[in-house]
Amino acid sequence: MDQQINLRVPGPTPVPDRVLHAQCRQMINHRSPEFSALMQSITGKLKTLFQTQNDIIIYPSSGTGGLEASVVNTLSPGDRVLGLTIGYFGDRYMEIAKEFGIDLIRLEKPWGQVFEGDEVADALRKHGPVKAVIVTHNETSTGATNPIRDISRAVKEYNPESLLLVDSVSGLGSMPLPVDEWQIDIAVTGSQKALMIPPGLAILSVSPLAWQAHEQSKMPRHYWDFSSYRKYMDKHQTPYTPAVSLYYALDEATDMIMEETLEGVLARHRRVANLTRQYIREYESRGLSLFADPDHLSDSVTAVRVADGIDVKQLLKEMKAQGVILGSGQGKHTSEYFRIGHLGWVHEPDIVDVFEKLAIIDSLKSKV
Ligand SMILES: *Cc1c(COP(=O)(O)O)cnc(C)c1O
């Protein structure tokens, strides 16, 4: 790994050396027993990570493709769907649903806030039964994490037949998301976040209820069609050419996670997130504060509000000059905050480094 650069954006995240080397192997035939063994190894470990017995589907795609796949495989144009957005990525999920002709009941919260379970229960009572609820687990744009367990309870208590589709691209593998226990019909994640491999894979878990919905779904689709994937599932192959190098990387990265254990990985993310928050409290008098609701802070990314008079662009530029790459703000709040990614291959010293170098904030202020 390049030790000079401390890449602290919430994806793509740094790739550990072991994984970097693993992906440099020669290609293999994707219609061979060697590939099937690789795929079987990966799928087994992903099921442990998703805490599920559900089927796993891996696409060569960025995370957004996985979101689209969840919509086009289970829904039909005109279906009533409750969409909950708490930021930039929630908005994207809503847009996908709308573009495919979903009758969307779109609820939103101000950036930094989340939906509580009883608010979702109230919304369902008010609007009546829906085919599905779509929601973001960890909102990467704001550093707020929806309480998916409570939301799931509200959804399934109101109507066990409603699907729960969850964007956990920046959550899974860094925060708890026990898919079976929380009755998540489709959980979507991406390779470049907590999984510590380069961008290029979208990974979904598909529940029996989601498969049932798939049988009835009339949405146009081809590349994303779950049915094509199902045909190859028993052989542990994919319908189209898989991203073989990324499979090498994913096999190695999931080995690393299994060695540390899922529990260990989640505990490390919690520790690193707590350290980040502690630093921000220490930096309060110097102009930094938490952007998101303190009761629903993300363990994978922290959004940091800056006091008036501090130029965020300049701050990011001066941090980059010191080798620390931070995430910018997003959407209409871009100039109010920045983000520190702490998911995947991250440890306490990475955060200590960020805040040592953030000492430049004092000089930024005096310039204004
Ligand atoms: C990163 C991310 C995505 C997917 O983004 P891609 O650029 O398509 O990989 C989707 N949702 C959330 C919450 C994310 O953090």
Instruction: Determine the distance from the C-alpha atom of residue 188 to the mean position of all C-alpha atoms in its chain, rounded to a whole number.
Output: 7
Q: Which of 134, 146, 170, 301 to mutate to test the pocket of ligand 1 (most atoms within 8 A of CB)?
A: 170
The pTM is what? 0.97
What's residue 5's pLDDT? Answer: 95
pLDDT of 271-283, one tens digit each? 999 999 999 999 9
What's residue 366's pLDDT? Answer: 58
What's residue 368's pLDDT? Answer: 46
Say which residue the tokens 């990525």 belong to: 89
Closest residue CA from atom 5 of ligand 1: 63
Q: Decide whether any atom of ligand 1 lies within 6 Å of the 13 Cβ.
A: no
DSSP SS3 for 310: coil
Instruction: Determine the distance from the C-alpha atom of residue 96 to the mean position of all C-alpha atoms in its chain, rounded to a whole number.
Output: 17
Cα-Cα end-to-end distance for the chain: 37
Is the backbone peptide bond immediately before 12 cis, with ω within 30 degrees of 0?
A: yes
Question: Nearest CA to 310 among 328, 287, 330, 277?
Answer: 287
CA 49 – ligand 1 centroid, Å = 18
Q: Which of 64, 174, 302 to mutate to test the pocket of ligand 1 (most atoms within 8 A of CB)?
A: 64
pLDDT of 153-200, one tens digit each? 999 999 999 999 999 999 999 999 999 999 999 999 999 999 999 999
Q: Decide whether any atom of ligand 1 lies within 6 Å of the 87 Cβ.
A: no
**Which tokens is 182 given?**
């929380």
More confident residue, 132 or 3: 132
- Residue 345: is its pLDDT beyond 90? yes
Determine how many CB atoms are found less than 10 A away from the CB of residue 53.
11
Q: Decide whether any atom of ligand 1 lies within 6 Å of the 190 Cβ.
A: yes
Ligand 1 atom at minimum distance from 136 CA: 13
> If you ran DSSP here, which 8-state letter would residue 217 be given?
-
Dihedral sign, Cα of residue 173, residue 177, residue 180, residue 184: negative
pLDDT of 27-53, one tens digit each? 999 999 999 999 999 999 999 999 999
CA 32 – ligand 1 centroid, Å = 32
Q: What CA–CA distance (Å, rounded) separates 160 from 179?
A: 15
What's residue 1's pLDDT? Answer: 45
Q: What CA–CA distance (Å, rounded) separates 279 from 293?
A: 17
Q: What CA–CA distance (Å, rounded) separates 146 from 137?
A: 5
Q: Decide whether any atom of ligand 1 lies within 6 Å of the 16 Cβ.
A: no
Q: Which of 96, 169, 298 to mutate to test the pocket of ligand 1 (most atoms within 8 A of CB)?
A: 169
Closest residue CA from atom 6 of ligand 1: 63
pLDDT of 282-300, one tens digit each? 999 999 999 999 999 999 9
pLDDT of 97-154, one tens digit each? 999 999 999 999 999 999 999 999 999 999 999 999 999 999 999 999 999 999 999 9
What's residue 365's pLDDT? Answer: 76
pLDDT of 311-327, one tens digit each? 999 999 999 999 999 99
Say which residue the tokens 């938490």 belong to: 290
- Residue 3: is its pLDDT beyond 90? no
What's residue 336's pLDDT? Answer: 95
Q: What CA–CA distance (Å, rounded) separates 28 from 10?
A: 32
Closest residue CA from atom 2 of ligand 1: 169
Per-residue confidence band for 4, with pLDDT thresholds at 50, 70 and 90: confident
**Which tokens is 188 given?**
């979507």
Mean pLDDT of 245-259: 98
Q: Which residues on neighbouring strands pair with residue 172, listed in sequence order? A: 175
